[in-house]
Every structure is written in C-alpha cells, then in structure tokens.
Structure 1
Amino acid sequence: MTSMQLGLIGLGKMGGNMAARLREKGHEVVGYDRSPDQRDVASLAELVDRLAAPRTVWLMVPAGGPTTNTIAELSELLAPGDLIIEGGNSHYVDDRRHADELSAKGIRYVDAGVSGGVWGRQNGYGIMVGGAAEDVAHAKPIFDALTPDSGGGYVHAGGVGAGHFVKMVHNGIEYGMMQAFAEGYELMAASDVVDDVVGTFDSWREGTVVRSWLLDLLVRALEEDPELKGIRGYAQDSGEGRWTVQAAVDHAVPAPVITAALFARFASRQDDSPAMKVVAALRNQFGGHAVTKSAGDPA
C-alpha cells in the first residue's frame, strides 16, 4: 500500500479513531483539533506548513457553519493542486458550492460520507465518495486504509456531492431499520406471550433474514440493560433524515418508511416511549451518543 501524508482536522470520536487507523496502516497523519490535548499542531496554518505539496486535508468537523468556516480558512492557506476531502455529514448541495468556490483557486474537492461509528477503527469504515475521478484516485490509498480489510465498504458514487447524497440515503434507511427493531421490541415487551425478549433478538442474529450489525448492537444494548431503564426514550435526528425526506419530495419519490421513522424521532421528544429507548440505545452503541436518565427524569 502506498503511504500518504494527510492533514486531518477534527479529532473527536470519529476523526480520532480514523487518525489512529490510518497510522496503524502506515500513513502519516498531522492532526488538528480545537482541544490542545489531541492535536499535533496548534493552528490550520501550522498544519498546512507541515504538509508537503500537493497537500491532502481531510475535514471531520460538524456540518454547516463549522465546515464552511474551516473550508474558507483553508482556501486562503492552501495552494493550487491541493485537495480537500470533506468527511463530515455536509448536505450535498453545500458540497457543490464549496467545490465551485475552491475550483476558482485551483483547489480540488472530494466529499466522503463515512459510516462505522466508534467501531470503525477496529472494523473499518464504509466510505462513499463523490468527486472527479483523478481527485478520488489521488486519495485512494487513504480510502483503502480506512475501509474494511476484506476490501469492501467503498464506492466512488459519482461527481461532487454524490458521496454525501448516498450517505444521506444510507442514514435514512438506517432510521427505518432502527425504528422497525424498536417497534418490534415494544410489541414483544408489551405482550403477555413472550417471556424472553432479549433471547428472541439474540436468536435472530443467526440464520434469519433480519440479521445485521444493527441487530448485534441491539442485543448488546439489551444485555447491558434488558429493560432499558437507564436510557431516556429520546432520539435526536442528525439532519440526514430530514434531508433524505426533502430529497424524496424534490424527486417525487415515495419514502413512507423513512419519513415515518423521522417523525417517530420527533414524537420521542414528547414521551419516554419503549420504542424510542431502543433507538436511543442503538445510537449509543454505534456512535457513543449516550442519552441517560438525569436526576429529574421520571422513573
């Protein structure tokens, strides 16, 4: 594997584990984060100075303003031929705007949807890329190092914006799958028929058509807290679910399951429902989004 040098901005739960995996695979990572305890350099200017041209810089910062502001600052520091990879969860429309603005300065742009949560360092990440073929090829050693060792988990989905578009759809599908597991849990728990709800989910992990990593994580969460007493029935939506529903409206594509799952998350903010406890527990398992009961919450 060709060794590369990479600047990585944002060393949180995802970015920090990605940096560790890349280093384990033999790549040089120069990391920057607002937290002094995690970073290798103290500023974006220092990060750019540490990289050899043509530079490759990967962003793992929150979508929206933080990403836009970071790209704007980098655009004044990087040189023609350098490459920015936006690995957060930006809206694909924003990707196209960023790419156009950077192109005027000769700076290349690739968007990369990343899935894998806090388990990505160990298992590898799913990487969904959008951009020009030559720009994607330049960064391919980085993508190869981040994806699973089996060789799967990677797609060059299309031009700029395609990577985040398919990641958006991926997350919309994830909403629907999580909601289905959650409703199944609530139904079995509410019945007077099923004595072993946790064992039932565990049995589905082998030989059934619903076996999946999400199911594995659900069983893990239920083994830790079978009645989910320590988790609030509240599930935040990260933005991609809303964008997926909006894209479905824009393209006149019916998406009733994803839409209903999004609205169920809105409903979770009103009642502490058992189904939403499952969704919250699953998010906690794969992303570290802990939502536990506070002292003032009802039992």
Structure 2
Amino acid sequence: MQLGMIGLGRMGGNMAKRIAAAGHEVVGYDRSPESDRTVASLKELVAALKAPRLVWVMVPAGEATDSTINELAELLQPGDMIIDGGNSRYTDDARHAAELEPKGIHFMDCGVSGGVWGIDRGYALMVGGSQGDFESARPIFEALKPEGDSGLVLAGPVGGGHFAKMVHNGIEYGMMQAFGEGFATMVKSDLVEDPAAVMSSWRDGSVVQSWLLDLLAIAFKSDPTLKSMPPVANESGEAKWMIEAALELGVPTPATAAALYARQTSRGGADDILRVVSTMRAQFGGHVTKIDEIATH
C-alpha cells in the first residue's frame, strides 16, 4: 500500500520506518526540513499519493491536529481517508468526522502505544471507525502491530480508538504510581537492603511482572537509587480526560485520580496549598515546620 505520514518525530518517524520495512511505500512530511521527509508540503504529499489516498496524521493533539486535518480537507478527494494517530481527545474525533463527511473523506482515529521501542517491538493499536474503513487500512495496521494475534483492535466507532487509548494511559498512570510508591516504601525501610534488586526480581514469576517493570529494571542497572532522575513527572492530559469521562459515566477512578494529582504536585502546583495548610496548623496548634527540619527527614 501507499501511505502518507504527517509528523516524523519520535513516534511518527519510527512508525514510518516500520511500515516501510514491511514493504509499503511511505510518503513522509514534517514541518522540519531536517527531518526524513520526502516532500516539503501537504500539497506535495497529496499529489504524490494515488487515489484512494490514505493519510496518517501523527502530530500533537489540539491546534496542530485541527489545522492539519483542515488543510487536508481542502486537498483530498472523495474516497480518501485520514487516520488521526496522535493523542487527540476522543471528543474531537466526531467533529473531524462530521466536517469531512460532506466532502466524502473517510476518517478514523487510532490510539497508539509503544513509545520509542515500537519500531522493533511493534505498536499496540486501538482503532475507532467503521468496519469497512478498518479493513481497507488493515495492511498498514498489520505492519505496525506486534507479531502474533494481539496488539490490534477495532475498539468501536469513530472516537472509540482515542477513548480506549485514554483509558489505557489512565491505567498506565496508576501502575507507574504504584511501582513508585512501593520503591519509596522499601527505600525508607531498614529491612530491605537493595530495593532495586527486589523490584527487578519481580520481572519473572510475579503477578506484577510487566513491560513497565522491565523498563524500570533497565534504568536500575545504571542508577539503582534513581537519584539522577528529577522528582518531577509531567502529565499529558489523557488521565485528566479519563477522570472527567468517568465522572460523567458515574465510574469511580480513585487510583487514576491519585496518580494524576501526584504528578501535578511534583511540578510544584501544590506549594501554595501546603503553605496554607502549614500556616493554619501553626495558628491553631503551634505546629511550626522549618525548612531545615524537612531536609533532615
């Protein structure tokens, strides 16, 4: 098949290489002239593809995705298809599909997981769209997915792919937070001499074995204490969206919410909150916390 790939960053660039390695022709475009792009504009990309065209958008969610799809809408023809493989919010997908439908342009959304390792391991793909569109693009999905029977699913209609990826990332938040809390608890204990060795031992035979734990074990080899890593973790939005969606659906998500708040706290967002708490404790009980006392604990 032919595929137009828009966005050749850490994810899109590796995905394009994996697709090409499977024997498909990839026409790549990125705004950066220093990328591995094969064309210098969206217009050139569309011109280089044979109808019906298949274009995969792999750019940051929000304005970048909106503007790219809007520009493609003016360049593509009826029967062509756009796949949004970025981390767009699922509510954006219905809007994109509705705007493209009068032009006869098909639309699918695809949540992609695999990170920088996906080029070799394959990517987990969660697709939203019609069965017919899914089947027409299946060769590309098969090229991207891991070997074997898993790693690819038609999650539901348009929006279903990004909704599933949103939930996937919320679960990821909770899992990483749990591993972090377990490590921190062992570090504080006098009964565990090497927390890194303990957690690495869980990679085999344990019910908590996972690829996330495998990656953590790799990091432990070069830094068993993880002191070289800053104690700050950003959040990209998916867990927040999941919590909002869960609230609307009446589903409690305390683990995901706690993991999200922990990340926000790590970025200093809670400093003013804690100053207020410390001030009130000092007022009603004379509890004064000094900075040098914190440093010794």
Q: Spell out, residue by residue over 1:107-141, the C-alpha distance to the aligned partner (whole angstroms, 9 max, x if none).
A: 00000000000000000000000001111111000
Q: For 1:175 and 1:79, how far apart are their aligned partners in 2?
A: 40
TM (normalized to structure 2)?
0.89
- Structure 2 residues without counterparts, runs of 5 or longer: 270-294
Q: For 2:220 and 2:263, how far apart are their aligned partners in 1?
A: 20
Q: For 2:87 and 2:43, how far apart are their aligned partners in 1?
A: 24
Q: For 1:175 and 1:66, how far apart are their aligned partners in 2?
A: 25
Q: For 1:84 and 1:103, how far apart are their aligned partners in 2?
A: 11
Q: Does the aligned pair in 1 maintain the 2:196–2:225 contact within 8 Å? A: no
Corresponding residue of 2:184: 186
TM (normalized to structure 1)?
0.89
Corresponding residue of 1:17: 14
Q: For 2:111 and 2:147, how far apart are their aligned partners in 1?
A: 18
Question: In terms of Rg, which structure is larger?
Answer: 2
Does residue 108 of structure 1 match 2:106? yes
SS across alignment from 1:229:
coil
Q: Name the aligned partner's letter for residue 5 of structure 1.
A: Q
Q: Name the aligned partner's letter for residue 145 of structure 1.
A: A
Deviation at 1:9, TM superposition (A): 0.2
Q: Spell out, residue by residue over 1:171-198, the C-alpha distance to the aligned partner (whole angstroms, 9 max, x if none).
A: 0000000000000010001111100111
Alignment of 1:69-148 (within 5 A): 69-148=67-146
Alignment of 1:214-293 (within 5 A): 214-270=212-268
Q: Does the aligned pair in 1 maintain the 2:7–2:30 contact within 8 Å? A: yes
| Percent identity of equivalent pairs | 60
> Which structure shows the bigger proportion of residues in helix conformation?
2
Q: For 1:236 and 1:269, how far apart are their aligned partners in 2?
A: 7
The two structures, once aligned, show a CA RMSD in angstroms of 1.1
| Bigger relative contact order, structure 1 or 2 (CA pairs below 8 A, ≥6 apart) | 1
Indicate the larger mover: 227-236 or 70-79. 227-236
Deviation at 1:104, TM superposition (A): 1.1
Corresponding residue of 2:162: 164
Q: For 2:177 and 2:62, how far apart are their aligned partners in 1?
A: 27
Q: For 2:267 and 2:89, how far apart are their aligned partners in 1?
A: 24
List, as ranges, runs of 4+ consecutive aligned residues in structure 1 with deviation greater than 6 Å.
none
Q: For 1:224 and 1:98, how far apart are their aligned partners in 2?
A: 45
Q: Does the aligned pair in 1 maintain the 2:57–2:84 contact within 8 Å? A: yes
Q: Spell out, residue by residue over 1:5-41, the C-alpha distance to the aligned partner (whole angstroms, 9 max, x if none).
A: 0000000000010011011110100000011122110
Q: For 2:228 and 2:44, how far apart are their aligned partners in 1?
A: 44
- Structure 1 residues without counterparts, runs of 5 or longer: 272-297
Q: For 1:106 and 1:163, how far apart are their aligned partners in 2?
A: 21
Q: For 2:227 and 2:3, how far apart are their aligned partners in 1?
A: 43
